Chains A and B, each alone.
Chain A
Amino acid sequence: MAKEIIVALAGNPNSGKTTVFNNLTGARQHVGNWPGVTVEKKEGSCNYKGYSIKVVDLPGVYSLTAYSPDEVVARNFIVEEKPDAVVDIVDASSLERNLYLAVQLLEMGARLIVALNMMDEADSRNYRIDVEGLSHLLGAPVVPMVANRNRGTEELLEEIIKVAEKEVEVKELVISYGQEVEEEIARLERLISQDGELSSKYSPRWLAVKLLEGDEEIVKKFKDVKAG
């Protein structure tokens, strides 16, 4: 009986996410809609070293602040379904913007692997990326890839298994936002921890940050809790 792993693919639009998805799943894909919304849901599967891996292609997003249905779907999947691993496909030639999503995923405590795609484009621009350093500073594994030529796919699968089997631990990221904001976060955290249900499901700090960002979904959740 093959062991089952669920992997979510996240990333900016145009980052090559679809190519990675196709490389992993080949012809074994199924396209549908996420329940209740007109957002496309793509799932596929593959087998690797005795593991049966279900791959869910999340909508391409720039951020997880729940501003659009795409972001809500992506965010909810990671928080509710808690996949065994989340792969953020990052365009190496546009690192600064692409890492914004990775940072948010790390703040959420997702089991993140950064797939550093389009290395060929970065090379052609004479960028030198210290992959190990990046991995160390982010606290998550980084796999260089050129998905267009199907390079890096096996290495990615290896990391997925390692992360899923918890051989590699991904740390939750904490960024300091300056004294004023941090004080507010601490205050909110205290209030949130008083509610057992919410704080057991999500990290209190993350919830506090989301509230400050004015995240509508989270605000709604709090209103629901207060009412109930």
Chain B
Amino acid sequence: MRSIYGDEAETVIADGRYGFISGLLKDVLKKPPIERLTLSDKIDRVIINRWLGIPLFLAIMFGVFQFVFKLSVPFMDWIDAGFGWLAGLVSGIGGWGGSLLADGVIGGVGSVLIFVPPIFLLFIAIAVLEDCGYMARAAFIMDRVMHKIGLHGRSFIPMILGFGCNIPGIMATRTIENPKDRLTTILINPFMSCGARLPIFVLLAGYFFAAQAGLVVFCMYIIGIVVAIIMALVFRKTLFRGVSSHFVMELPPYRLPTVKGVLTHMWERGRLFLRKAGTIIFGVVVLVWLLDYTGALEPIGSAIAPVFAPCGFGQWQAAVSLFFGFLAKEVVVGTMGTLFAAEEGVLGGAIAAQLGWTPLIAFAFMVFCLLYIPCVAAVATIKSETNSWKWPLFAIFYTTAIAWIVATLIFQIGSLFVG
């Protein structure tokens, strides 16, 4: 009962359908005779130009970066002031209740919520790029580059999304048909510095590097990309050898994004962040406060801390923050905020004073946070997208191993220069 024609018939059938459509459209659709170059085509002459394409892309990315960070500053100050006021209100309450509120909740959650402006602005930027059609162009432009690391253009969009949040980034790999390409893209996605790591970078870079803070944060993103590229090459040569698959993608016409559309997309992703803040982060911060208040935290931290000594931050507070950072990376800052009973403004100073960190140590710590374990939600996403436990567990171990190695190298080698 099997068809003898095989694929010949399919092509005839597809052709038949298109033939029907053509005939139909002759009667029904009138196009201007010399149509050919649409406005989108003209724009594309520049945007996906052989020589201008990549520089333009980098310029746009830089523009997005500036937009997000410069614009969030006033909002962040405003939120910071708000939490400061709240802390003032609460300072009158004594006992463990007061401590819980002031140190636990306000210190912990406050230090994370202050990052709502940059994270939401980043989601807005991504939504605009997607809705106007530029993302597809980015994938086209970067295809040649992606080939050099064994992937292709379609792997590029998940990586860009990963800069907002790794979860939509990992989910966006669904469009990649080749399973090996898809797995590689999923496994390197956590190195795209997601929005949740911003609090850590801004906090530490802001305090320890003052004037060069922006440059240092930019460095983090670059390091993430470099590690991702190296790992992609490694994976391609070892675990996932094989032929790369076919790149077929529609290039939709450029469209002007609507305010409603952009805000909807921003909200779809942003509200997950808020939900995380309201639940996981809140829960962990309270847990940390509780463990701290009952004195159980320091022993736990001290037991783990020696592991981090070669990296330069073998203190129990750092160990504890990193440990809980697995649940959600924002928690690293949230935990520190609780432990040092300080909001963002003075947290940096508190860390420096109490832990004796130097800029070098702070840098190594930031790199560790950048590279280690994807947050629990991302791990869960990896599991559901790959339908197995093997890959999420692998992701946990290999990212942490790399984080430890790189942070140690930075600290050890850096110490030789800085002393």
Q: Consider the complex of A and B and state whether they touch directly, i.e. have CB atoms less than 8 Å apart.
A: yes
Q: Spell out A's residues near B (CB within 8 Å).
A: 12-14, 19, 22, 38-39, 65, 68, 93, 95-96, 99-100, 103-104, 121, 124-130, 133-134, 137-138, 148-149, 175-178, 180-181, 184, 191, 209, 211-214, 219, 222, 226
Task: Provide the bound-state CA to CA distance between A96 and B20, in Å.
Answer: 10
From B17, B38, B264, give the contact of A100 (CB < 8 A).
B17
From A13, A148, A211, give the contact of B261 (CB < 8 A).
A148
Contact between A96 and B3 (Cβ–Cβ < 8 Å)? Answer: no
Chain B contact surface mostly: helix
Assuming A130-B30, A184-B9, what are 8 further A-B pairs, CB within 8 angstroms? A14-B252, A95-B29, A121-B253, A125-B32, A129-B29, A133-B27, A213-B10, A226-B1
Q: Report A-chain residues with C-beta under 8 Å of the C-beta of B2.
A: 219
Contact between A177 and B13 (Cβ–Cβ < 8 Å)? Answer: yes
Contact between A214 and B10 (Cβ–Cβ < 8 Å)? Answer: yes
Task: Provide the bound-state CA to CA distance between A26 and B417, in Å.
Answer: 60
Residue B21 CB within 8 A of the other chain: yes
Task: Provide the bound-state CA to CA distance between A39 and B387, in Å.
Answer: 13
Contact between B27 and A137 (Cβ–Cβ < 8 Å)? Answer: yes
From 10 to 43 in chain B, residues with beta carbon under 8 angstroms from any chain A beta carbon are 10, 12-14, 16-18, 20-22, 24-25, 27-32, 35, 38-39
Task: Provide the bound-state CA to CA distance between A19 and B17, in Å.
Answer: 28
Contact between B174 and A214 (Cβ–Cβ < 8 Å)? Answer: no
Residue B385 CB within 8 A of the other chain: yes
Contact between B1 and A181 (Cβ–Cβ < 8 Å)? Answer: no
Kindly report which residue of chain B lies nearest to residue A68, judged by CB atoms: B177
From A19, A39, A181, give the contact of B13 (CB < 8 A).
A181
Task: Provide the bound-state CA to CA distance between A161 and B252, in Å.
Answer: 31
Chain A contact surface mostly: helix
Residue B384 CB within 8 A of the other chain: yes
B: contact size bracket: 35 or more
Minimum C-beta distance from A42 to chain B (A): 11
Minimum C-beta distance from B256 to chain A (A): 8
Contact between A100 and B21 (Cβ–Cβ < 8 Å)? Answer: yes
Q: Report B-chain residues with C-beta under 8 Å of the C-beta of A104.
A: 17
Contact between A95 and B3 (Cβ–Cβ < 8 Å)? Answer: no
12 contacts between A and B (CB under 8 A): A14-B250, A100-B17, A103-B17, A126-B31, A127-B31, A130-B29, A148-B258, A177-B16, A212-B5, A212-B13, A213-B9, A213-B10
Q: Report B-chain residues with C-beta under 8 Å of the C-beta of A222.
A: 1
| In the complex, the 3 A-B pairs of residues with the closest C-beta atoms, listed nearest first | A128-B30, A14-B252, A212-B9
Minimum C-beta distance from B186 to chain A (A): 12
Contacts A181-B9, A222-B1; A175 near B20 (Cβ below 8 A) = yes
Contact between B25 and A184 (Cβ–Cβ < 8 Å)? Answer: no
Kindly report which residue of chain B lies nearest to residue A102, judged by CB atoms: B21
From A12, A127, A138, give the contact of B30 (CB < 8 A).
A127
Minimum C-beta distance from B175 to chain A (A): 9
Give B165-180 as 1s and 0s: 1 = Cβ < 8 Å from A's Cβ atoms.
0000000001001000
Q: Report B-chain residues with C-beta under 8 Å of the C-beta of A96.
A: 18, 21-22, 25
Kindly report which residue of chain B lies nearest to residue A19, judged by CB atoms: B261
Task: Provide the bound-state CA to CA distance between A96 and B22, in Å.
Answer: 7
Give B49-85 as 1s and 0s: 1 = Cβ < 8 Å from A's Cβ atoms.
0000000000000000000000000000000000000
Residue B255 CB within 8 A of the other chain: yes
Q: Report A-chain residues with C-beta under 8 Å of the C-beta of B1.
A: 191, 211, 222, 226
Task: Provide the bound-state CA to CA distance between A48 and B87, in Å.
Answer: 50
Minimum C-beta distance from A5 to chain B (A): 25
Contact between B13 and A125 (Cβ–Cβ < 8 Å)? Answer: no
Kindly report which residue of chain B lies nearest to residue A211, judged by CB atoms: B3
Q: Report B-chain residues with C-beta under 8 Å of the C-beta of A138.
A: 24
Minimum C-beta distance from B266 to chain A (A): 14
Task: Provide the bound-state CA to CA distance between A133 and B12, in Å.
Answer: 26
Q: Report B-chain residues with C-beta under 8 Å of the C-beta of A191.
A: 1
Task: Provide the bound-state CA to CA distance between A125 and B32, in Å.
Answer: 8
Task: Provide the bound-state CA to CA distance between A99 and B261, in Å.
Answer: 25
Contact between A22 and B264 (Cβ–Cβ < 8 Å)? Answer: yes
Task: Provide the bound-state CA to CA distance between A138 and B39, in Å.
Answer: 30
Task: Provide the bound-state CA to CA distance between A125 and B30, in Å.
Answer: 11
Minimum C-beta distance from B253 to chain A (A): 6
From A68, A133, A176, give the contact of B16 (CB < 8 A).
A176
Minimum C-beta distance from A178 to chain B (A): 6
Task: Provide the bound-state CA to CA distance between A99 and B232, in Å.
Answer: 39
Task: Provide the bound-state CA to CA distance between A175 and B24, in Å.
Answer: 12
Residue B419 CB within 8 A of the other chain: no
Kindly report which residue of chain A lies nearest to residue B2, judged by CB atoms: A219
